[in-house]
Amino acid sequence: KKSDDTETKFKLAQTLRRMKAYDEAAAELDLVEKADKDFPGLALERGLYYQETGQSQKALEMYDQALKKAPDDVDLKLRIGSTQVIAGQAKQAEPILKEVLKEKPNSAEANHYLGRAMLLAGCRIKNRHGVPGPVDEQLLAGAVRLTHRRRDTLAPVAVPLAEPAVGVALGVLGAI
């Protein structure tokens, strides 16, 4: 009976967080932790709570705890990488986001945050071809994907555009 009550409180905390009722969600998470500090999903849920309330460093601590219990969880690794980017930790985020993309190469969210991490880390190419600003050299020679959200589910998706579209448009394929 006690575990059913804890499960109910945990689900209530998730629902309250999704509704942005953060004070109430935190109170329910505290009750869950008091009942069972090792409750499955508690560290991840606390991480999501901290991330949504702008406490990136605390979120990363919770995600690290969760990753110890689920070291192969690609979605959790994506949470860690995206939070590191938000926290300005671009160099730490880059390897974990690349790892995520090995498992999920079409992940719009991972591609987005990896791009942001590379920009924050100062990834640039020389402007020898008139290409303005920071550009990943692989973008010029590889496939290009457009990131957007689906209308029906609002889930992020990566829509493939023409193979090396940027390179063809700029006429620099042979120059790289």
pLDDT tens digits for range 74-122: 999 999 999 999 999 999 999 999 999 999 988 989 998 998 888 888 8
Q: Residue 173 carries which DSSP code?
A: G
Answer for the pair 44, 60: CB distance below 8 angstroms, yes or no: no
**Is the predicted pLDDT of residue 176 greater than 50, yes or no?**
no
Mean pLDDT of all residues in the chain? 80
- What pLDDT was estimated at residue 35? 94
Paired residues of 53 in beta bridges: none
Report the alpha-carbon distance of residue 28 to residue 45 in Å, rounded.
11
**pLDDT tens digits along 31-82:** 999 999 999 999 999 999 999 999 999 999 999 999 999 999 999 999 999 9
129-151 pLDDT, tens digit per residue, is: 444 444 444 444 444 455 555 56
DSSP 133: S
- Per-residue pLDDT at 162 exceeds 60: no
pTM of the model: 0.66
| Residue with tokens 């498992």, as numbered in its chain | 103
With left for phi above 0 and alpha for psi between -120 and 50, is residue 171 left, alpha or beta? Answer: left
Average pLDDT over residues 8-18: 96
C-alpha torsion sign, points 65, 48, 6, 155: negative
- Would the CA dihedral through 66, 92, 121, 75 be positive or negative? negative
Give the pLDDT band (50/70/90) at residue 2. low
Give 157's strand partners: 148
Average pLDDT, stretch 15-41?
95
